[in-house]
Amino acid sequence: MPTALPLCSAGMSGPHALHSLELRHLRCFLAIAEEGNVTRAAARLRLTQPAVSRTLAALEDALGVRLVDRSTHHLALTPEGRAFQESATAAVAAFEDALDSVRTVRRPLRVGHAWSAAGPYTTPLLRRWRERHPDVPLELLRIDDRTAGLTRGAVDVALLRGPVDAPGLVTELLYTESRVAAVPSDSPLSARAELALADLSAHTIALNPVSGSTALDLWPPADRPTATIIVANTDDWLAAIAGDRAVGVTTTATPGMHPHPGVVYVPLTDAPDLPVVLAWRDGPRHPAVRDLVTLAHEVVPPDATRPTGPTKPTRPRG
């Protein structure tokens, strides 16, 4: 077993330092790379910010290269860091697969999602999986990061929305979802049958850069909102809208999965549909991943890539 490298170690470059590295150093780097922020990475790993910074420094010292550019306000990977991200992702996945090869009991298939899972197809998928594969439990895990825990090995496969550009992942389109505006229930916008993106431009927009699918470039430059608030997860996003601090944009899956008495969902007429994909790591993987992909295509109707937005606002019950 390699000797543990204390979190506060630094300046130990060379072969001996490489032998001292552990899986936690890779997981720490991957969290930083995906979050683009040490504070968010620390929260995700349940560590302090200084501990994460020291772990990253120890990894860089051992490798003898700078992986993260700290010279700008927004943390970014160096070219070496981008190359190492792909290798580190594969290494973490290989570790998980090595454990699987000697387990006497098949471990659960862990399916990650950041929000809304597979929308209206979630329950049918879970129930049918239990009928077809009773020997392999399926665990649906909500993980608030860009790949729902996939790149750091927390899950085996993930339901993701929007483009997926993380290295080392394979994706398969399941269906598309129409976009809706989320507005306070007492807002004049909530009485509208439909909205356009321009109707939201004068309002503060709630954005979730951690796991959300909306960014300001959704709007044409001439109609781009100038005021935003940043939230870290779906619960905070809903609270900001219900509290009349902002409005938001989401997909048709959210009204069913996240109803809120203070939020009304109104169809957007000019926002592009959002793809929903299953993603998994390229290379060794949980043996049941392909079974899940096959079953998901059975559950999702063939015409589900067509716009499926509601024809009228989705209002809270009661």
CATH number of the CATH domain containing 190: 3.40.190.10
Residue 302: how many other CB atoms lie within 10 Å: 8
Residues 164 and 295 in one domain: yes
Residues 168 and 290 in one domain: yes
Residues 85 and 202 in one domain: no
112 φ, ψ to 5°? -95, 155
Residues 94 and 43 in one domain: yes
Residue 272 lies in a domain: no
**Per-residue confidence in pLDDT tens, the chain, 318 aa:** 333 333 333 344 454 556 678 889 999 999 888 888 888 888 888 899 999 999 999 999 999 999 999 876 668 889 999 889 878 887 887 777 676 666 545 679 999 999 999 999 999 999 999 999 999 999 999 988 889 988 878 899 999 999 888 888 999 999 999 999 999 999 999 999 999 999 999 999 999 988 888 999 999 999 999 999 999 889 999 999 999 999 999 999 999 999 999 999 999 999 999 999 999 988 778 889 999 999 999 999 988 875 444 434 455 544
Query: 187: left (phi > 0), else alpha (psi -120 to 50), else beta?
Result: beta
Could you tell me the residue range of the domain that residue 238 belongs to? 177-267
Residues ≥6 apart with Cβ < 8 Å to 27: 45, 92, 152, 153
Residue 7 lies in a domain: no
Residues 147 and 292 in one domain: yes
Q: Report the domain count for the chain.
A: 3
pLDDT at 103: 57
Residue 305 lies in a domain: no
The residue among 84, 104, 110, 112 whose CA lies nearest residue 26 is 84
pLDDT at 73: 62
8 A C-beta contact, residue 136 and residue 108: yes
8 A C-beta contact, residue 175 and residue 300: yes
Residues 312 and 7: their CA atoms lie apart, in Å, by 55
pLDDT at 112: 96
pLDDT at 145: 84
Residues 161 and 282 in one domain: yes
Residue 2 burial by Cβ neighbours in a 10 Å radius (0-12, 13-18, 19+): exposed
Residues 169 and 185 in one domain: no
